[in-house]
């Protein structure tokens, strides 16, 4: 139930802010959860955004606001407790593992709790066991990490030292990490538990993947730091560094952590994502550089073969998904390393077979997702294309042509803000926001204007969404 004050504010904000000419503009995309990304905080705080990124900014603000309506999140919200008995321990169940009760000589149906500890569990790669959602620490962390990133970006668009968006971040970070009652313990001892009689009481190393979105959180926090956000105080920063240091120690010394980073496939790539980002969070820049170099000199070497294919992903049950998934992780590792060490050259770093991230994308672009029954997964390639085009250039226009055909709204996607330069987007649309067209101003002023105008437009949406939520909750 909503607190009365919030209820009142939503009503007020919706009645004050809704202005029809603004609301008809519908170039805000629905939220998409991308597997991972690192957004260079220096690029964001410089605020030199292309004047074609207005729609992307509008999506970002809208995503920040809609995600925030689900928070704050905490591991203590789940309806059960990890085997430790400590409600502040993170927990999830291995998504592809299923009970096989055929060998159990029960005379009646087993309760779920009995199945978890009695029946052996077997792996069916790619087949989600729906009961993994009974505990949803993972879904909460996904939303948390996206909320931190998009709220930080939304905060950065305004020239303020504090805003509703930065205050959201502090609220969410406190609830998930720092609060003495609701904060998560810095370990993943119970992530992706496989259950069953033999292995039911501990997580598996694959569970480390659950927290890959830590990169997004670190992006957001670096933005708040660099913008000298007054909500992100020295005290909360120190507390978060202390938390991250303990978690880094767990990742680097617990066998679940070390096994995950030693994985040859996407699990390893995402594990390096987390470690490299966490080292930035604790201000250990050389440590982050070492992690990045270890990735590119290590498991990356075997990940892309001479045809640009990814031999550890292609044989999986969802090869189109897994190729793009690992691409996202490789791209994120490259971005992190380039940020930590601007003199590094991860994008040109070749594998043993002489290939690069670009070769892996080019190969994946030739794959028909329908061939493996993965038509639903086609969108997973879009942010990878945008990242590669923005980084390596698009001299023959093939990347933009692919996007324009398969995803005509790509310039309204959040990633279009930081995957620049990338052709597309329309300045005219930005000026049309204010009910004017063809206004010509000097470029610098126009950039600032487009951002300011976007705030007017997008500030409509929380009110509208709020009103809809109120209707849903109260039953109008």
Ligand X SMILES: *[C@@H]1O[C@H](CO)[C@@H](O)[C@H](O)[C@H]1NC(C)=O
DSSP letter assigned to residue 175: I
Output 101 or 202, the one with its CB closest to ligand X: 101
Position among 86, 199, 446, 459 found at the interface with ligand X (CB under 6 A) = 446
d(CA 33, CA 415): 11
- Shortest Cβ 436–ligand X spacing (Å): 5
Contact flag: residue 391 with ligand X (CB under 6 A):
yes
Output 242 or 393, the one with its CB closest to ligand X: 393
d(CA 10, CA 180): 30
Contact flag: residue 19 with ligand X (CB under 6 A):
no
Output 239 or 372, the one with its CB closest to ligand X: 372
- Shortest Cβ 245–ligand X spacing (Å): 27
Comparing CA positions, the residue from 123, 116, 118 lying closest to residue 98 is 123
**How many residues of this chain interact with ligand X, rule: CB under 6 A?**
42
Contact flag: residue 436 with ligand X (CB under 6 A):
yes
Residue 336 phi, psi dihedral angles, 5° rounding: -65, -45
Tokens read off for 217: 């959180």
State which of positions 105-124 bind ligand X (CB under 6 A): 106-110, 115
Task: Compose the 339-368 pattern: x for residues touching ligand X by CB under 6 A, - for all others.
Answer: ------x-xx-------------------x
Residue with tokens 């920040």: 64
d(CA 202, CA 190): 5
Position among 11, 45, 81, 101 found at the interface with ligand X (CB under 6 A) = 101
d(CA 408, CA 388): 18
Strands (DSSP E) along 1-110, which ranges? 97-99
DSSP letter assigned to residue 282: T
- The answer to whether the CB of 446 falls within 8 A of the CB of 427 is yes
CA 47 to chain centre: 22
Instruction: Characterize 188-205 residue by residue with b for buried, 16 or more Cβ atoms within 10 angstroms of its Cβ, and e for exposed.
Output: bbbbbbbbbeeebeebbb
- Shortest Cβ 312–ligand X spacing (Å): 8
Output 304 or 329, the one with its CB closest to ligand X: 304
Contact flag: residue 143 with ligand X (CB under 6 A):
yes
Contact flag: residue 427 with ligand X (CB under 6 A):
yes
Contact flag: residue 305 with ligand X (CB under 6 A):
yes
Return all residues near 122 (Cβ < 8 A) that are at least 6 apart.
97, 98, 100
Output 131 or 259, the one with its CB closest to ligand X: 131
Contact flag: residue 306 with ligand X (CB under 6 A):
yes
Residue with tokens 């009974």: 134
Position among 88, 294, 301, 434 found at the interface with ligand X (CB under 6 A) = 434
308 sits in the region (left: phi over 0; alpha: psi -120 to 50; else beta) called left
- Shortest Cβ 281–ligand X spacing (Å): 23
Position among 456, 468, 471, 474 found at the interface with ligand X (CB under 6 A) = 456
Comparing CA positions, the residue from 111, 89, 81 lying closest to residue 99 is 111
87 sits in the region (left: phi over 0; alpha: psi -120 to 50; else beta) called alpha
Output 256 or 460, the one with its CB closest to ligand X: 460
Q: In 3-state terms, what secondary structure has residue 109?
A: coil
Position among 2, 314, 365, 469 found at the interface with ligand X (CB under 6 A) = 314
Task: Compose the 195-234 pattern: x for residues touching ligand X by CB under 6 A, - for all others.
Answer: ----------------------------------------
- Residue numbers of the site for ligand X (CB under 6 A)? 31, 51, 70, 101, 106-110, 115, 136, 139-140, 143, 159, 305-307, 309, 311, 314-315, 345, 347-348, 368-370, 375, 378, 391-392, 427, 434, 436, 440-441, 443, 446, 448, 453, 456
């Amino acid at each position: 139930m909503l607190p009365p004050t919030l209820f009142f504010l939503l009503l007020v904000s919706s009645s004050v802010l809704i202005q029809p000419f603004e609301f008809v503009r519908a170039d805000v995309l629905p939220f998409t959860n991308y597997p991972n990304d690192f957004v260079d905080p220096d690029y964001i705080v410089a605020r030199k955004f292309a004047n074609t990124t207005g729609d992307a900014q509008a999506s970002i603000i809208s995503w920040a606001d809609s995600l925030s309506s689900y928070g704050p999140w905490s591991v203590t919200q789940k309806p059960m407790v990890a085997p430790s008995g400590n409600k502040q321990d993170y927990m999830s169940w291995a998504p592809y593992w299923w009970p096989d009760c055929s060998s159990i000589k029960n005379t009646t149906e087993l309760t779920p709790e009995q199945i978890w500890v009695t029946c052996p569990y077997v792996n069916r790669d790619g087949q989600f066991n729906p009961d993994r959602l009974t505990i949803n620490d993972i879904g909460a962390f996904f939303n948390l990490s996206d909320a931190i990133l998009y709220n930080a970006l939304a905060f950065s668009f305004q020239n303020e030292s504090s805003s509703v968006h930065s205050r959201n971040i502090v609220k969410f970070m406190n609830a998930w990490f720092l609060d003495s009652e609701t904060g998560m313990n810095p370990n993943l001892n119970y992530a992706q538990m496989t259950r069953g009689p033999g292995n039911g009481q501990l997580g598996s190393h694959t569970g480390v993947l659950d927290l890959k979105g830590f990169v997004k959180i670190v992006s957001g926090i670096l933005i708040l730091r660099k913008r000298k956000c007054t909500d992100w105080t020295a005290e909360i920063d120190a507390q978060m560094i202390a938390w991250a240091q303990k978690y880094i120690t767990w990742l680097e010394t617990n066998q679940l952590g070390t096994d995950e980073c030693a994985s040859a496939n996407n699990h390893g790539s995402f594990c390096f994502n987390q470690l490299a980002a966490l080292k930035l969070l604790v201000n250990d820049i050389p440590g982050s550089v070492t992690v990045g170099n270890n990735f590119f000199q290590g498991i990356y070497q075997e990940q892309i073969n001479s045809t640009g294919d990814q031999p550890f992903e292609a044989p999986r049950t969802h090869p189109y998904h897994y190729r793009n998934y690992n691409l996202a992780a490789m791209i994120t590792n490259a971005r992190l390393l380039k940020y930590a060490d601007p003199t590094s050259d991860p994008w040109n770093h070749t594998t043993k077979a002489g290939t690069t991230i670009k070769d892996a994308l080019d190969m994946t672009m030739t794959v028909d997702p329908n061939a493996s029954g993965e038509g639903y997964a086609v969108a997973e390639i879009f942010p990878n294309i945008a990242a590669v085009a923005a980084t390596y250039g698009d001299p023959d226009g093939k990347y933009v042509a692919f996007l324009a055909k398969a995803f005509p709204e790509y310039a309204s996607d959040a990633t279009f803000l930081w995957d620049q330069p990338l052709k597309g987007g329309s300045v005219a649309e930005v000026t049309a926001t204010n009910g004017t067209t063809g206004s010509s101003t000097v470029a610098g002023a126009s950039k600032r204007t487009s951002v300011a105008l976007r705030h007017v437009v997008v500030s409509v949406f929380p009110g509208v969404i709020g009103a809809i939520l109120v209707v849903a909750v109260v039953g109008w």
